[in-house]
Structure 1
Amino acid sequence: MKNAKYFILPLAFALLQSCAANLSYSGSPFQKSYQSITSAELKTHLYIVASDEMEGRDTGSEGQKKAGKYLIEQYQKMGVSHPKSMTSFHQIVPTEALKGRRGNLPQSENILAYIEGSEKPEEVIVISAHYDHIGMSDGQIFNGADDDGSGTVALLEIAEAFQMAKKSGNGPKRSILFLHVTGEEHGLLGSLYYANNPIFPMANTVANLNIDMIGRCDPGNCDKEYVYVIGSEMLSSDLKKISEKANASTTSLELNYKYDDPNDKDRLYYRSDHYNFAKNGIPVIFYFDGIHEDYHKPSDTPDKIDYVSLQKRTQLVFATAWELANRKDRIVVDKKVK
């Protein structure tokens, strides 16, 4: 028995190492923030953002500006401000930068909310969603509840979760930028403008987690708890591993990689705002629920959203962002741009 201490000490060290490896997801600050993301709050926000009052949120329209005002009010209520270098939450996107598929569009705005990191504030995680949709046609309103009201309200809940952690003294070590982009439906124009005029240098942008449609299901998957994860290993050998660890430690969704191929016939890797980050060498994940029967139709309304699935997918994005923001080392970029 005299050598027992030589056995016990390595065992204790191994246990401590094991606990440390899971600390980011098992600790109280994470759990409280994670559990603050609720289907009820997502539903409350979405019934406003995708209401008839917003008139389909077409780029530069009064309806879109109303939706933007609501988003800013929510950030102000939770105590989240805009980047210090800006005088407001608005990054003006001039009409010259909004030459879309239907010609020139009115001036619009990207909306930027920001939580500064406590240890590595110069390194930034961008979480994005587009808050525009396709407006009205022939007297019908295209509410865009899933596309992309779902991603828009997910950002609000994720920001609130991080802000809760910050208020308890456990804010993210790296900075988080919540980027609501305009003009996606006309050709990824708002995110292109941000990429060309970044508030934070692209070299300091660690990753982009982009959310575009996470509130519904597509044919063949409606009996599953899943989400399509696109682009997670295109540029970084770290990001997919982090995503899968976050999922295994929290939501346990089926991560579907069907579209995780730049040669896929639907070319979804190129079709949402993350691509304007990816082509600049920034690792990305695009979260997506698939193409359903109400895609780009007036019938994409808040009553058809699966709010439990929306909650779980939002929590997955939060858990992934939590790890990216708090891990010791910045993730590597070790693959070529596609």
Structure 2
Amino acid sequence: MRIALAGLAAALAFALPVSGQEIDTGQAIEDLRVLTTDEMDGRRTGTQGAADARAYLAGRFFMAGLVAFGETFEQPFTYTLHRSSEQLDGINLIGRHGPDDGEGPVLVITAHYDHLGNCGGQICNGADDNASGVAAMLAIADVLRDTPPEHLIIFAALDAEENGLNGARALVADLPVDQDRVVLNINLDMLAINAENELPAAGAFHFPFLRGHIDAIEVAEPTRLIQGYDSSEWGPGGDWTYSSDHAAFHDAGIPWIYYGVDFHEHYHQPTDEFEVVQQDFFLSNAQTVLNAVVYFDERLETIASELEAFRSALPEAEEAHVGEDGRFMKPGME
């Protein structure tokens, strides 16, 4: 079901967090639309389309009041493709909200902005994958501009996810704060299409202390939140631990929550267009994630303490589930 923009604000007047913070629905839809236009040419890493998307995002970072860690929001990096010696370049965008005392716990929000470019001669615009996640992240940044968080929150629009989670790997390898301070990653990847309005939240299988917190977060209608998709118990293809950028945080031992829908007929197809986005579902998901960010910001010291207790109880660190050459792999890359 689609809702006219004029009625979106009223439609989402329910299920607000206690703080009353609410996303700008019109701006969120506009961001999603712009990122999926043919002018972006599918946002493939290293192309002019990706550069155009990055320029738009840098402008939105500025509008959202995000502060750069250096002279610009850009974090350039070099990587090699899986089973290749060719070096390629990517560029992440990183900004922050909130105070930085150099010591307190940090929350990192991630969403990859790259997509596939052209698929069989057609543009793959990647509306759900992952213009939706980026648009939701921008909506959260807009809210925190007006109501600053208690803790440092890093916003990262990541590049080169589609060819091996390379932007996330670069970010974790070169975080703008001490890695020990990062106590949670919230990763957003595909928030806009599901016939049952189901939004999985993965991660608590690996970090069980998160389960009760995720259950306590207010879920906006019509979203139906499901915890799972983070272990072999979900069957073949049902363990998404290494399916998106949160994998880089996982292998660093940093807790993560991955919000993203199940695979659907438009996944990695030219039909993943703005026109097929379920706007009410996308907006309720963005609101739900905002609720989560507000919730965790208010409890980040608690999360840090629970993480310390969790780590101290582990007999030894889990061995990372990576490829033969030690690189992260998305499904189908083996």
Please tell me the TM-score bracket, short chain as reference: 0.7 to 0.9
Q: Counterpart of 1:310 in 2: which secondary structure?
A: helix
Indicate if the aligned counterparts of 2:222 and 2:281 stay in contact, CA closer than 8 A.
no
**1:56 and 2:42 equivalent?**
yes
- DSSP-derived class of the 1:320 partner: helix
- Partner residue of 1:275? 247
> Residue 146 of structure 1 contacts residue 213 of structure 1 at CA under 8 Å; is this kept in 2?
yes
Equivalence for 1:244: 215
Which residue matches 1:151?
133
Q: State the match for 2:11 in structure 1.
A: none
Where 2:155 maps in the other structure, the secondary structure is strand
Shift, 1:315, TM fit: 1.2
CA distance in 2, matches of 1:314, 1:121: 29
Q: Deviations over 1:145-192 (max 9, x none)?
A: 100111011110010011121xxxxx2111111111111100111101
Q: Distance in 1 between matches of 2:24 and 2:204?
A: 23
SS of the residue corresponding to residue 162 of structure 2 reads helix
Q: Structure 1, residues 106-157: CA drift from partner, whole Å, max 9, x if none?
A: 4220111211237787321111011000111443111011001110111100
Does residue 91 of the first structure (1) align with residue 78 of the second (2)? no
Does 2:17 match 1:46? Answer: no
Does structure 1 residue 197 correspond to structure 2 residue 174? yes
Q: Distance in 1 between matches of 2:51 and 2:89?
A: 11
Q: Which amino acid aligns with 1:231?
A: G
Query: Is 2:112 aligned against 1:130?
Result: yes
Which residue is 1:300 aligned to?
272
The alpha-carbon deviation at position 61 of structure 1 amounts to: 1.2
Secondary structure of the corresponding residue to residue 206 of structure 2: coil
| 1:173 counterpart letter in structure 2 | E
Which residue is equivalent to 2:54? Answer: 68
After superposition, the CA RMSD in angstroms is 2.2
Normalized per residue, the structure richer in helix is: 1
Aligned in 2, Cα 1:119/1:192: closer, same or farther, shift over 3 Å? closer
SS of the equivalent of 2:217 reads helix
> Given the alignment, which residue of 89, 92, 113 partners 1:107?
89
Using the size of structure 2 for normalisation, the TM-score is 0.81
Amino acid at match of 1:122: G
Question: What is the CA-CA distance between 1:283 and the residue it aligns to?
Answer: 0.9
What is the deviation of 1:270?
1.1
2:17 corresponds to: 25
AA in 2 matched with 1:256: I
- For 2:143, the equivalent position in structure 1 comes to 161
Distance 2:75 2:51 in 1: 13
CA distance in 2, matches of 1:184, 1:114: 21
Aligned pair partner of 1:176 in 153, 168, 185: 153
Q: 2:67 aligns with which of 76, 81, 87?
A: 81
CA change 1:101–1:49 in 2 (3 A) is farther
Contact between 1:235 and 1:282, CA under 8 Å: does it hold in 2? no
Instruction: Give the C-alpha shift of residue 252 in structure 1.
Output: 7.4
Any stretches of 5+ residues in structure 2 without a counterpart?
Answer: 1-15, 319-334
**Which residue is 2:328 aligned to?**
none
The residue aligned with 1:36 is: 23
CA distance in 2, matches of 1:328, 1:89: 25
- What does residue range 200-215 of structure 1 map to in structure 2 within 5 Å? 200-215=177-192
Q: What SS is found at the alignment partner of 1:186?
A: coil
Rg larger in 1 or in 2?
1
Structure 1 residue 262, shift from structure 2 partner: 4.5
Percent identity (aligned): 27
Mind listing any 5+ residue stretches in structure 1 that lack a counterpart? 1-23, 166-170
Partner of residue 286 from structure 1, selected from 258, 274, 277: 258
CA contact (8 A) 1:80 1:113 kept: yes
8 Å Cα contact 1:118-1:173 kept in structure 2? no
CA–CA separation in structure 2 for the residues paired with 1:136 and 1:280: 33
